[in-house]
A and B are shown apart, each in its own frame.
Chain A
């Protein structure tokens, strides 16, 4: 591993010889090096089917002489480099360049191989992973004991840390390390085991973790991924170089820098000044500025995040199904997408997004129909009611503006008054995550990212009686989700989830709003396609 000092001198020297201020921030976007084509991926193991090896494919050559230095600027930096001691996207993006799980996802969310080359379900319902013959960045081989330790460190509070990812791998009951393979058992049948392992469960080296304290593990890395951290400036910048021994072949990027600017205008300015190559969360009002520039463009992709208005079923007027449906008719989601989000959103009518397991293609979103909304409100017996919509500030793309528009549209009904209360997210989430439904807000905007691409991962926590974030109690929906979690036949499970989505649509515990888009500003000097799961994979970027 290179020392911090080496990298610092290189950067300073580069800056110094640049001579002019304009040259200081260059992000290495020039040059015309050839693309390194990736090896083809292994076939998917979606829906509980087994996965198979993918061919390695040929490595592309570097082509040009100039170094390909790539800069990524996000809204927030990491919360430490321990891959198992965080639960947020930005940290995952930063540590995910270094650490890998047993399985991974392609850009569309399909399951592909990671540190496991093969995966299958055993007869007793456990899952078995055949490990890749590869090494950590310190040169030590990845062993089945390392994998066992990594999984246990996540799910068992007695192994090192109380990991916030504890629930992300399901109810793991046993992990058995074999010869080049690992078998994971669950409490009961886990129909989405492979989905969970494709999104979660990064692998660390047991001896490296045990020999170092938390402060060190959060400042240093030892993974297996395409990049190696060369400089870590906590909360400011992380610099990487390619892992020359990466099992996936040559990485086309010669140097990678991850940094953050909390101000979206600053991120966009950095992009337009050619100081960085990829910026995240370009707000709708900045899109035209990026698109009209000569140096960058917009790349967007529907994300795995759904935005909605929660209505608590146990308080008036939201205890009335008719009133809840009325709220769905009262909000013009298409208009909000067009005018507030600049088109960056897909209208929804069910909790499961299109492309996710269990999505019901027969469900149409509630049409915007204020007259029908007024009629339903009258029928519900709550005409003249006053309600308040609570919204977080700055948590989701255009959240306050979306909530303002929705509240205004509801307020424009002749028989409902709706006001808006803006709350800081930390404060709102304190109420939302309380264990008691009685303490939760009556009516609030929320977003939910489903990294597993499976409908159960939205419906269960948000709509079932025992769900951590539920605002609904419905025995029929509860039973459907119990059935979905215990059904081994993937097709039958999809049917159950589709039925659950139809029920959720009819019960209308949410005002179904939209699927959020991930909107990136991307330098014209590079070619890079974003992923559906909000992860950024710079190793797939190439020079133009």
Chain B
């Protein structure tokens, strides 16, 4: 199989997954108790009023008609209208996507910046206090629920010490970029951006950071025990060069794979963190849509999240296939 066909095959499989997401989520609305009508109408609305609202929302149509219409509209790029807000779903979802991606990337940066040095340090100083400390740290990071961590971070750094903002988004990364060439002072804008994003990025990235630390440590230990490392040392290469030029580079290959996959998880998994920090991303939109049974918005959000995940996976697969042609044949 050629590389092109491999990528095409993976892409089609990804498309199938997205269709599966659409269908499963659509089916869920009929097995989940509760109705959007109850979120729209007051509790004492007459049955006549409820029926009129159902008709207006198209909920009085047979299931197959609703599904067919939804798929047809979706293929034209139309995700429909929110049952609750009366607004176009496309606008609602894509207005939230940048905030979620920004938070996911920031969390990844926080995680990578700390986890890889910590993992390397832990591996190169095995069974020393630094290693024990890093192990304890990563264990704590994996075990700590991010909603609890988020609340604690807010209490300490926003309320008590007033260093960061408690919640919201404020300045976005685009404003920071514009300030480089614009009239607004760059440093001030950057600080304002950091004031909002730092705490949610730490809360979201901590689990991720702990995971990568463990992965880097075990990978590094594995590489340091291999023959080529001993050969390099035998040749008289300095330890620093052996560790960071040879061993670390090989360690990072599986780490980067996990990073790519985890980015997709972060986009879909920021729901709790976004709620705690009132971060205006897809996560808060998903929660709100579930609570109000706003199925078009929920479906739109999950389609975007699912597609992001599939895209990242296809991209990782493609990069893997490019780096290791054996994957294509396997």
Contact = CB atoms under 8 A, between A and B. Distances in A.
Interface of A: 12-13, 15-22, 24-25, 76-80, 82, 85-87, 157, 161-162, 164-168, 214-215, 217-219, 233-237, 259-263, 265-266, 269-270, 272-273, 275, 424, 426-427, 429-430, 432-433, 435, 448, 461-462, 467-469
B33 A21 contact: no
Interface stretch (B17-25, B125-133, B161-169, B202-210): B161-169
Given A16-B179, A269-B154, A25 B166 contact: yes
B285 A235 contact: yes
Contacts of A167: 42, 44-46, 49
B255 interface: no
B313 to A, nearest CB: 29
Contact of B34 (A18, A168, A266, A429): A429
A269 B167 contact: yes
B40 A164 contact: yes
B189 A12 contact: yes
A311 to B, nearest CB: 18
B140 interface: no
Contacts of B158: 269, 273
A389 to B, nearest CB: 18
Contact of A429 (B38, B88, B192): B38
Given A21-B165, A167-B45, A80 B86 contact: yes
Given A235-B92, A265-B151, A16 B195 contact: no
Interface stretch (B215-223, B231-239, B271-279): B271-279
Contacts of A427: 33-34
A429 B34 CA distance: 7
B41 A164 contact: yes
A218 B52 CA distance: 19
Contact of B159 (A262, A263, A273, A448): A273
A110 B29 CA distance: 43
B315 interface: no
A82 B81 CA distance: 14
Q: Which bucket holds chain B's interface residue count?
A: 35 or more
A272 B154 CA distance: 11
A235 B292 CA distance: 13
A260 B91 CA distance: 20
A272 B159 contact: yes
B1 interface: no
A24 B56 contact: no
Contact of A166 (B49, B55, B169, B196): B49
Contacts of A82: 86
B175 interface: yes
Contacts of B329: none
B43 A469 contact: yes
Contacts of A218: 85-87
Contacts of A85: 86
B35 A262 contact: no
B88 A263 contact: no
Contact of B56 (A16, A161, A235): A161
